[in-house]
Chains A and B, each alone.
Chain A
Amino acid sequence: MIDPVLNALITRQNPDGGWGATQDRSSNTEATSLALSALKSIGARSVDDRIRRGALWLTAHQNPDGGWRLNDVATAGSWTTALAIIALSAFPEHQKRVHDGARWLVQQEGSAPGILAKLILWARGKSNINELNNDLIGWSWVPNSFSWVEPTSYALTALKKVRPSLSDDNLNERIRQGEALIYDRMCKGGGWNYGNSKVLDYALWPYPDVTAVALIALQDRAAEAANQQSLNALRETAAEANSGLASSWAAICLGLYGQDTREWQSRIEKSFEKNGFLGETKTLALALPALAGMANPFRI
């Protein structure tokens, strides 16, 4: 099954060297980073030229300040910077770019409600509608908005990967607070959704993809009770979703935690046979290392 998935992924590479979200879309940093990580992880010489062209696209889309733009249209530094760092950290020749990106990432902070907003919420009786610690700072999807689980998790994974070789005064504190934020956002019973465990007294449910991404970011704290509880939530929600994306994330995550991934590999194969993952590059790129079970691009 690896070959059909690999073929589907490489045929989606655009002439400019990058990948779009699907075959008919322009290249973007998320799809290109994940595709590049996937191809690099399988270590096949036959894709060397694909990797070279993908890395060229990615390096050409780093902004002078170190951040990565999403694509040729949305050119401000974006949340996809963390994924570009993860992808290029497998290329020793790009270490400077990786460090520039990581320093940019350390400077990015999600916003907490200001004093005025807090007063208004308090006046409306909604000062704690989601029962979160809103003072914790992680990473947001776009500047000037709240911190959310998925961008915070990508940032943590990227920064933990480069931590041994990067010197930055704020790095460890940003990682510490990012971890605190992720644990704070955990759903009751384990697992994560986009970042609200509760709204207006109603408990919200976890999503398998976000749960896996968060657990990957916290893989160096595997023994924590919250991690173990969330691994169970991951298995349950991924089985319920039964999609290529959920199963791929589950296999990658559970593999990092040293667990058997055969059930998820089987689910990935069935999903691919059924609908080709709807042609989505992201799922193809995650399925490839998940099926290959080789060097995991998300290992810290």
Chain B
Amino acid sequence: MLRRDFLKYSALGSLYPWVPGCEQPVRWQRDAFRKKAGSQVAILPASRYDQPLKDTIARGIRICGLDVKGKRILLKPNLVEFDPKGVINTHPAVIEAAIDSFRGLGAAQVIVAEGPGHRRDNEYLLSASGLYDVIREHRVHYVDLNTDNVRATPLRSSFTALKQLYLPESLYNADLLVSMPKLKTHHWVGVTLSLKNMFGVVPGIVYGWPKNILHWQGIHKSILDINSSLPLPQFAIVDGIVGMEGNGPLQGRAKNSGVLIFGDDLVAVDATAARLMKIEPQKIDYLARAGEFLGNLNQEKIQQIGERLEKFQQDFAVIEDFQNLKKLTS
């Protein structure tokens, strides 16, 4: 109670990030963003990793109207850490199916790229997670985004105090960046999905392990500045076959959800994924701000295709600090 009173009444309250109800300044280049009038998000059922997933992923790509013919595709899974008892990472079966699907749909090139946030040992992470076998069997090039060549990239929004970020050259050499997060809750920001997954494109060799400068600048703010400044179009495929609830992104509990979620508006995809977890996206700071300029957050602006959201909605537990996120308003 003492702490709450302190926040409520002290002058510091005005410095507290994004106090609800306060007018927020515009922090993005207005002419750089054209939010679509409406977005489509596809929810497709996929109950197990040991069942064929290629057709499901190909269908998800097709019904979203994504044309990948002749394009260079960069798949960006979530491979932040490995715990043999946990479900931290995008499952290699989903990545494998995505490789097959994009190739089958005529992509000119598919690479898998990630910049793990904690560990520097790629051989261990790839082998332990099962991804090494996938990239070897499918002869796919894996790029360690942490040690890629870098290019100074001006930020197109100013939520952080950073003026630019060094980003991997591989982003500039691809035509489409496919964010492939795990469906997870997150103990600092509520949920980690396709937008938060982009922390992995920030190169560790410049910013370190963990990429702590992003935390110092504010995680919500950094998510916004990274996603607003990526130099190529994006698509999202969320691995929600088995998600994670509770103390994510590392130590939460497995939660069977049986879905894959697709879309080319990452804000709309993350908003839908949050609602699937019965978490209110409007109450998550970075999603609420992203909904103002990066993509569509409001449910009426998102056309659900594939399965109905309500059919797969489940109550994902969150840590105590985020109980307020569980009051769905949409």
Contact = CB atoms under 8 A, between A and B. Distances in A.
- Residue of B16, B209, B321 contacting most chain A CB atoms (<10 Å): B209
Interface stretch (A23-31, A92-100, A101-109, A253-261): A23-31
Contacts of A119: 12
A298 interface: no
A111 interface: yes
A120 B16 contact: yes
A202 B251 contact: yes
B205 A70 contact: yes
A244 B16 CA distance: 46
- Residue of A194, A199, A205 contacting most chain B CB atoms (<10 Å): A194
Contacts of A22: 144, 147
Contacts of B72: none
A225 interface: no
Interface in A210-266: 241-246
B294 to A, nearest CB: 26
Contacts of A123: 3, 6-7, 12, 16
Contact of A30 (B123, B205, B212, B321): B205
A205 B118 CA distance: 11
B304 interface: no
Contact of B216 (A146, A242, A244): A146
B118 A194 contact: yes
A280 B122 CA distance: 9
A44 interface: no
Contacts of B321: 124
B149 interface: yes
Interface in B150-205: 150-152, 166, 187, 205
B147 A243 contact: no
Interface in B194-244: 205-210, 212-213, 215-216
A246 B122 CA distance: 10
A52 to B, nearest CB: 25
Interface in B275-289: none
B324 interface: no
Nearest to B117: A194
B121 A146 contact: no
Interface stretch (A137-145, A163-171, A173-181): A137-145
Nearest to B2: A123
B120 interface: yes
- Residue of A119, A123, A140 contacting most chain B CB atoms (<10 Å): A123
Contact of B120 (A74, A151, A209): A209
A200 interface: yes
Interface residues of B, number: 42
A144 B160 CA distance: 13
Given A120-B12, A243-B123, A150 B216 contact: no
B121 A141 contact: no
A25 B118 CA distance: 22
Contacts of B148: 21, 25
Contact of A71 (B118, B150, B209): B150
A207 B83 CA distance: 12
Interface in A37-84: 70-71, 73-74, 78-79
B209 A26 contact: no
Contact of B207 (A120, A142, A193, A277): A142
Contact of A21 (B127, B147, B247): B147
A73 B166 contact: yes
Nearest to A113: B216
Nearest to A29: B205
A278 B123 contact: yes
Given A116-B15, A194-B210, A28 B205 contact: yes
B89 to A, nearest CB: 16
Interface string B115-158: 00011111110111000100000000010100111111000000
B105 interface: no
18 contacts: A21-B144, A21-B205, A111-B216, A123-B7, A141-B207, A145-B216, A148-B208, A148-B212, A199-B187, A205-B83, A207-B121, A241-B124, A242-B124, A243-B121, A245-B121, A245-B123, A280-B123, A280-B144
Interface of B: 3, 6-7, 12, 15-16, 83, 118-124, 126-128, 132, 142, 144, 147-152, 166, 187, 205-210, 212-213, 215-216, 247, 251, 319, 321
Given A21-B147, A123-B7, A205-B83, 15 more contacts: A21-B144, A25-B148, A73-B149, A73-B150, A78-B206, A116-B12, A144-B216, A202-B251, A209-B120, A241-B121, A242-B127, A245-B120, A245-B123, A277-B123, A280-B123
Question: 4 closest pairs, A vs B, by CB?
Answer: A141-B208, A21-B147, A243-B123, A243-B124
